[in-house]
Amino acid sequence: MSNIKNILLNKVSCKSIWFMRQAGRYLPEFRAIRSTNKDFIKLCLNSELSSEITLQPIKRFDLDSAIIFSDILMIPFALGQNVSFNKDHGPELSNLDLKLLLENNEKKFTEKLNPVYKAIEITKKKLNKSKSLISFIGAPWTLLVYMLGLRKNKYELNVAKLNQNKLLIERVLETVINYSCIHIKNQINAGADVVQIFDSWAGLIPTNFIRDYCYTPNLKIIEFCKKEKIPNICFPKGIKKKYEEFNKIVKPDCINIDADIDLVWAKEKLSGTVIQGGMDPNVLLKDDKEMFKAASKYIQTFRGIPYIFNLGHGLLPQTDPVKVEKLVKFYRNFNG
């Protein structure tokens, strides 16, 4: 049984390390591919290149898990929205056409994302059997933020827009939950071992909406995963002490904490689930001593309980791959 899959299913304590965004912009070998593949969505739909990118950090660092090179916005793309990536402003989506959205069906959706599933099949064949292959989706709320343009900026939600469109939001949420489950099942059928659900914008949700837009959509997806016996990881980034309530309601196999969460608090309050991550990715931009000190804190705090070493967010583009290599070696050799 794959390492991370074993940890999630059996809640066992054993060493496991991987990084969010480990296949990405900080690697020179990725940048070489990206320089000749300007359209990001097309790159995600190139099965051979997607697989090659997925395996780059495994070849370089011998990490315990690979995460398929794709994007959370593949779901809106497959549902008919145009998705483009602006270097300075991030992803931009065309205006949502509700009629077009609701005209989708499982066959059409699956066909559009078939190259993603093919990439998983290719990767699974090439990946050492001792390693896990992680698939992922964006949580419904986070996808909704992009699909309906609900952000004012990186740190602020357009609350007026949220209040004005409640019926539309409910309809879109329901559709996104449905297709998220289809996308998860398709990825697992293609050979993925685990799914991670990224709720990257959960921290923007006003308290009075947290249940409707964060807990309930994630719960529906986790209930689907449990029914299908799919090991799962939730990452409701930025919700601070609401992590405890999220964990009690949603009950994922594993919960990824962000860098704002106190470690001792997490160990005490997030019992009954595997804990993953937490370390600030900015630490990898500091000197080795500071990086090792921060890593030691996480390793020692979570020693003896089911814990997967990872970060509180994805690796930053300016990260030196040498630092990643040093951190992996430090973790593997840690005895303190």
- Domain residue limits, the chain: 3-331
Tell me which residue has tokens 């997925």. 54
pLDDT value for 13: 84
Q: Which of 147, 128, 111, 123 is nearest to 63 (CA)?
A: 128
Q: Is the dihedral of CA 210, 312, 129, 40 positive or negative?
A: positive
pLDDT value for 1: 43
What are the beta bridge partners of residue 195? 135, 232
pLDDT value for 9: 87
In three-state secondary structure terms, 23 is coil
Regions of the chain with pLDDT less than 70? 1-2, 88, 336
Distance of CA 46 to the CA centre of its chain: 20
Type of residue found at 207: T
Count of all residues that appear for the chain in the document: 336
State which H helix or E strand residue 93 sits in: strand 90-93
pLDDT value for 88: 67
Tell me which residue has tokens 């030691």. 296
Cα 85 from Cα 91, distance rounded (Å): 4
Residue 158 · residue 150 · CB < 8 Å: yes
pLDDT value for 156: 85
Cα 267 from Cα 275, distance rounded (Å): 8
> CATH number of 3-331: 3.20.20.210, 1.10.287.3510, 3.90.226.10, 3.40.50.300?
3.20.20.210
* Interior/surface letters 205-236, b for 16+ CB within 10 angstroms, e for the rest: beeebbbebbbbbbbbbbebbeeeebbbbbbb
Cα 193 from Cα 4, distance rounded (Å): 9
Tell me which residue has tokens 């719960």. 219
Tell me which residue has tokens 């315990």. 64
pLDDT value for 166: 86
Model pLDDT for residues 293-314, shown as the tens digit of each residue: 999 999 999 999 999 999 999 9
In three-state secondary structure terms, 274 is strand
Model pLDDT for residues 145-158, shown as the tens digit of each residue: 999 999 888 788 88
